[in-house]
Amino acid sequence: MEAFHCRVNTPLCNSNNYNTNFLASMQRMISVQPCNYARLLSVSCSSAAPPAKNNKRRTSRDYSAKTSITTSRTGSSNPAGKPQKLNSEVSPHRAVSAVRLMRIELGGAFADLLNDQGKGSGDNEMGYVERTLGFRTRNLDDRDLRLVSEIVGGTIRWRKYLDHLILSLCHEESTFRDMEPLLLQILRIGVYEVVKLEMPPYAVVDENVRLAKAALRPGAGNMVNGILRKLVVLKESNSLPSPKVEGDDRQQARALATIHSHPVWMVRRWMKHLGQEKAIELMMWNNSNPYFSLRANTGKGFTRADLVTQLEMFKVPYEFSPHLDDFVRIRTGMQVIIQAGLLRKGLCSVQDESAGLVVSVVDPRPGDTIVDCCAAPGGKTLFMASQLSGQGSICAIDINKGRLRILKETAELHEVDSVVTTAHADLRTFADENCAKSDKVLLDTPCSGLGVLSKRADLRWNRRLEDMKELKHLQDELLDAASMLVKIGGVLVYSTCSIDPDENEERVGVLFILYCLHSFDFSCA
């Protein structure tokens, strides 16, 4: 997460009609450093120019800038008329994992955690299994739930590497390329369990063969059996096939992309910006098991000490955040916390520390008027609201009406709704139509998410290089609009979940260039 802090000492103008060629050349020259939550960027301006109108605005759009998943493997794996019944011989966590992976890759679902009812994305998980495979398994117990989270997240992270191994073990490349989606997911699960989880090989082979036979046909089970057995032999002899990192930069990037399971374009980009050694370190971090952070809802009178008491009572291991007083970190026990109702009662929230650090840069205080641009789903809004002690106001703006409704309901649950109002609007239009200025404005802009790939396992496969150009244009427009909402002497905080300079330093650089175009003076500290 990157954040930039700007103090505005003169009105900012809306300058959508600036000379784009001049800006492009200036962008390549300017260098702006991120605050990293400690170094703040202060901007002082001495004069202002009248705002310029540009009637050619982009139409309202979903700021999430999601891209659809494309795949050559299509079609349903549930044969028509297949009897629906209970199959007690199939491993439930493998059946659920296979179906969930299908949904994520082909249906665009998120790799979210299962809750205590075995639900994901709102529907009963076993219902998805029944509709996809034609049968149900026994219900998931707590161990199954943990395994589903581990297998789904790990299989998605290591997908490129797993596919490399599967392809290497197929007799012909066409066998892999033409493989039906469900069979491929079962093989990925089996390979991941053998290579990364190091489960007992005989159990992995037996269980995945059984799943393939029950869900597809005997021949599919035979293929799973042959490929996994060959894999086990190679694993035990320490001779798994691995590409050699050699040749020119492009060839090295391709090899590293396979070894560390990332898209080639990301690897090339990081090698360019960071160098090969740092790029490898970053990919290793992205593939590590992440911890999750819980924020105690002090707005409801529930302190971190209260949260710790609950965690100790439920025997959930934790550690204190070294950065934020209201946060604790956990690696296991999320299902226990959910089942205990701590989230449902609004006593705490799952919130990344990087999001909390952005709020610390905003530094909300009682009496402040704050605008949270692109606010939904509202984690930062709620945290800021809890700091106001019932005094002040936060206007949460978002283009997604449904997500805003959830934000409003959650604000009521957290008992901070007295200081939170919502506005369903395109920020770019909202800034033109509203003259009111606020003390502090937060723009947590839509971005590539390249800084949170360890916790968003599926995101690396959903992003394309082409997205970056579109995102940069959107970020410039939103930052320009957000700057219009700040009072003289107020604070504008720009943050992203990306580590890419194009989405951080360069975007803030564009805003500074706008000052230069209008003969503004600014100093950086």
Alpha-carbon distance 38 to 144, whole Å? 42
- To the question of whether residue 476 is assigned a binding role by annotation, the answer is no
What distances in angstroms separate CA 471 from CA 67, 322, 462, one per listed residue? 11, 32, 14
3-class DSSP state for residue 190?
Answer: helix
The torsion of the CA quartet 24, 28, 29, 33, rounded to 10 degrees, works out to 110
441 and 490 Cβ atoms separated by less than 8 Å: yes
Q: Could you write out the three-class secondary structure of 85-149?
A: EECCCCCHHHHHHHHHHHHHHHHCCCCCCCCCCCEECCEEHHHHHHHHHCEECCCCCHHHHHHHH
- To the question of whether residue 376 is assigned a binding role by annotation, the answer is yes
**Taking the alpha carbons of 239, 241, 246, 249 in that order, is the dihedral positive or negative?**
negative
User: How many CB atoms are closer than 10 A to CB 154?
Assistant: 21
- To the question of whether residue 257 is assigned a binding role by annotation, the answer is no
Name the one residue in this structure whose structure tokens are 């059946």: 95
Q: Which residues pair with 124 in a beta bridge?
A: 119
Residue 431 token pair: 């800034």
Alpha-carbon distance 431 to 399, whole Å? 13
Residue 474 token pair: 């959107």
Alpha-carbon distance 392 to 420, whole Å? 9
3-class DSSP state for residue 444?
Answer: strand
With CA atoms as reference, report the closest residue to 485 among 420, 433, 407.
433
- To the question of whether residue 379 is assigned a binding role by annotation, the answer is yes
What is the distance of C-alpha 113 from the center of its chain?
Answer: 13
- To the question of whether residue 35 is assigned a binding role by annotation, the answer is no
What distances in angstroms separate CA 513 from CA 14, 22, 519, one per listed residue? 13, 9, 10
- To the question of whether residue 247 is assigned a binding role by annotation, the answer is no
- To the question of whether residue 81 is assigned a binding role by annotation, the answer is no
Residue 128 token pair: 């998805």
- To the question of whether residue 144 is assigned a binding role by annotation, the answer is no
Beta carbons within 8 Å of 199's beta carbon, 6+ residues apart:
193
- To the question of whether residue 378 is assigned a binding role by annotation, the answer is yes
Alpha-carbon distance 510 to 370, whole Å? 23
Beta carbons within 8 Å of 489's beta carbon, 6+ residues apart:
7, 8, 9
Q: Residue 510: left if φ>0, alpha if ψ -120 to 50, beta else—which one?
A: alpha
**Does 497 participate in catalysis according to the annotation?**
yes
The one catalytic residue among 170, 497, 516, 524 = 497
Q: Residue 362: left if φ>0, alpha if ψ -120 to 50, beta else—which one?
A: alpha
Residue 231 token pair: 């894999």
349 and 334 Cβ atoms separated by less than 8 Å: no
Alpha-carbon distance 386 to 295, whole Å? 11
With CA atoms as reference, report the closest residue to 378 among 413, 343, 341, 410.
410
- To the question of whether residue 374 is assigned a binding role by annotation, the answer is yes
Secondary structure letter of residue 398 according to DSSP: E
Name the one residue in this structure whose structure tokens are 């970190």: 329
Catalytic positions are 497
Binding residues for S-adenosyl-L-methionine: 374-380, 398, 426, 444
Binding residues: 374-380, 398, 426, 444
